[in-house]
Structure 1
Amino acid sequence: MKIVIAGGSGFVGQGLTDFYTQQGHEVIILTRKQSHRVGNVQYCQWLQPDAKPNELLENADAFINLAGVSLNEGRWTDERKEAIFKSRMQATTEIIRIIEDLENKPKVLVNASAVGIYPTSKAAVYTESSTQKSTDFLGRTVKKWEEIAKRAEAYGVRTVFTRFGVILGSGGGALKLMAMPYDFYIGGKLGSGMQWVSWVHIDDVVGAIDFVISDDTISGPVNVTAPHPVRMEQFGKTIAEIKRKPHWFPTPAPLLKAALGEKSKMVLEGQNVKPTVLLEHGYTFHYPKLYDALSNLL
């Protein structure tokens, strides 16, 4: 296959690039730098005034859009939130423009999304058929992101919105920051500890994306979360158990809000999100249980 990845230098993008090159597929990564090749990977310039990506992108089998300023890095100032929003809208709009102009269009567009589209709740359980949508910054951003990506359907391109949970991996994502306090013997409950963590191992993120590319009956939203979410208290206790460190030093919600600003909602509030579409279509998780996932990574 010929796979085009926007955001290929990021945490998930690197995992996908490694996976597909090892499988012998052709990978093209969209970049702002001049087009060039490194080993088995072709880098294709885009989002620059003189960029002409279309020639390299003809006859691609799949587009994967992961592009956007990281949610995990930095405090969510007004400036940072604007960058998070605009980067996603700009990249996705440009992907739709490219698809429109291609003579031979891709069969599928897999567009990154997030479980933040669902409202935070300690009681609700969300699946892809849930109609409730969050109205906070992240919810509005994800909703608009999906709306733009959906335009690909007008060109006959099957479109999938992979709604990622908290991605766990040793090379990036949130786990390093979540586990660090335990190394200094100050790990413990964050906020109430009752908030849900809908997590997923990076291997299952890569596996799920490849799965939805291969299964042409899947379209629309797909929750990319492990089938067994846990409360934050249990998440911390599992880290402590694996690292053989105490779980005793609580971090009050006001302290996290002061340190992280609006981004603290990602830690202090959460959603119980189920991967119903993946399970119904027969995807087998590498790491369905948290203990096994964390044991592999920590």
Structure 2
Amino acid sequence: MKAAIAGGTGFIGKELTAELIQNGYDVYILTRNTDNKKERDHIHYVKWLSDDAKPEHELHDIDVFINLAGESLSSGRWTEKRKKRILDSRITSTREIIRIMTSLPQKPDVLINASAIGIYPISDTETFKETSNALGQGFLTHTVNLWEEEAIQADKAGIRTVLTRFGIILGTEDGALPRMAMPYKLFAGGKIGTGRQWMSWVHVNDVVRAIRFAGEYESLQGPVNVTAPNPVCMNDLGKTLAKVLGRPHWLFIPAPALRAGLGEMSTLILDGQKVMPEKLLQSGFQFNYPLIRGALDDLYKGSVDK
């Protein structure tokens, strides 16, 4: 099997590359700069998104395209300039993926395009599944909606398309968890905002396994929620993290303080949705980490200072 990954050098991309190689794939990573990339067994680098790039000439007989490309949502305050980069990076990469796939003499079997549960409305009471038609408001929903509209063009070209709507991905190398854990490591962790906001989380190992599963399970298509089957409220997540790290959960960070400090980006912490992975469960996918305690225990096992 051959897989092409856009965003293959990022947080999820690195884990996914390892997962695919372990399961017999050859991986072609799309990158703007191949000069400092050293090819290894089963890993190849293909230049794209530059004037002299012709990636379609190097991507023959690819079975699955996976698009994880896009500027990080949590890399800085959401100024108007940054919001434009966040949106444009996703639209540009997705359009180029579509162009490459449709120009190939043999189209891939499937496109797996990253997406996010931010498309759903903010709610402390509702539960959202893939069949939920309600859309949220604000920048996140706007971005995800336009992103998915671009990706679905692959489906119109006859390529099975899966829109993996990621929840809060937990890993120790990057993403939200190291930022959440830092206050606890400094003995300054505690309730954030009301604490009642839902955190639809997922262990990074289950994310990459779900991506591979979506590529191989031919009946999966359209939106697929990639979240653990047991979401938790923010305060419960914080209490569990405190126990795993052996730290207190005692301070209170009021919502106005976070909004003042982070601006619009504070929605990633203060607001949430209860999202269920109905399609994955119905398709027989087995989560390695269905419960938050087990996920955090695994991620911090063997940590010297926890």
TM-score (norm 1): 0.98
Contact 2:19 2:209 in 1 (8 A): no
Provide runs of 4+ in structure 1 moved above 4 Å: none
- 2:40 maps to what in 1? 39
Of 240, 243, 247, the match for 2:242: 240
- 2:21 maps to what in 1? 21
What SS does the aligned partner of 2:251 have? coil
* 1:167-218 CA distance string (max 9 Å, x none): 0011111000001111111100000000000000000001100111110001
Q: Where does 1:137-156 land on structure 2 (aligned, <5 Å)?
A: 137-156=139-158
One-letter amino acid matched to 2:295: A
Alpha-carbon offset, residue 105 of structure 1: 0.6
What SS does the aligned partner of 1:38 have? coil
One-letter amino acid matched to 2:207: V
Structure 1 residue 5 corresponds to structure 2 residue 5: yes
- Distance in 1, matches of 2:87 and 2:180, equals 25
What SS does the aligned partner of 2:253 have? coil
One-letter amino acid matched to 1:7: G
What SS does the aligned partner of 1:3 have? strand
- 1:91 maps to what in 2? 93
Alpha-carbon offset, residue 50 of structure 1: 1.1
- 2:66 maps to what in 1? 64
- 1:294 maps to what in 2? 296
- 2:56 maps to what in 1? 54
- 1:213 maps to what in 2? 215
- Distance in 2, matches of 1:34 and 1:19, equals 22
What SS does the aligned partner of 2:136 have? coil
Identical pairs, percent: 51
- 2:198 maps to what in 1? 196
Which structure 1 residue ranges, 5 or more long, are not aligned? Answer: none
One-letter amino acid matched to 2:291: K
Of 61, 73, 95, the match for 2:75: 73
- 1:179 maps to what in 2? 181
One-letter amino acid matched to 2:269: V
- Distance in 2, matches of 1:246 and 1:34, equals 46
Structure 1 residue 107 corresponds to structure 2 residue 116: no
TM-score (norm 2): 0.96
What SS does the aligned partner of 1:256 have? helix
Alpha-carbon offset, residue 154 of structure 1: 2.1
What SS does the aligned partner of 1:57 have? coil
- Distance in 2, matches of 1:74 and 1:54, equals 34
What SS does the aligned partner of 2:78 have? coil
Please give the root-mean-square deviation of Cα atoms over the aligned residues, in Å.
Answer: 1.0
Q: Where does 1:248-259 land on structure 2 (aligned, <5 Å)?
A: 248-259=250-261
Alpha-carbon offset, residue 25 of structure 1: 1.3
* 1:29-63 CA distance string (max 9 Å, x none): 00011376511211100110110111211210000
One-letter amino acid matched to 1:251: I
One-letter amino acid matched to 1:110: I
- Distance in 1, matches of 2:126 and 2:140, equals 18
Between stretches 34-43 and 6-15, larger displacement belongs to: 34-43
- 1:229 maps to what in 2? 231
- Distance in 1, matches of 2:273 and 2:152, equals 24
- Distance in 1, matches of 2:199 and 2:34, equals 40
Q: Where does 1:267-282 land on structure 2 (aligned, <5 Å)?
A: 267-282=269-284
- Distance in 2, matches of 1:136 and 1:106, equals 34
- 2:304 maps to what in 1? none
- 2:137 maps to what in 1? 135
- Distance in 2, matches of 1:132 and 1:77, equals 27
* 1:111-137 CA distance string (max 9 Å, x none): 000000001100110000000011210
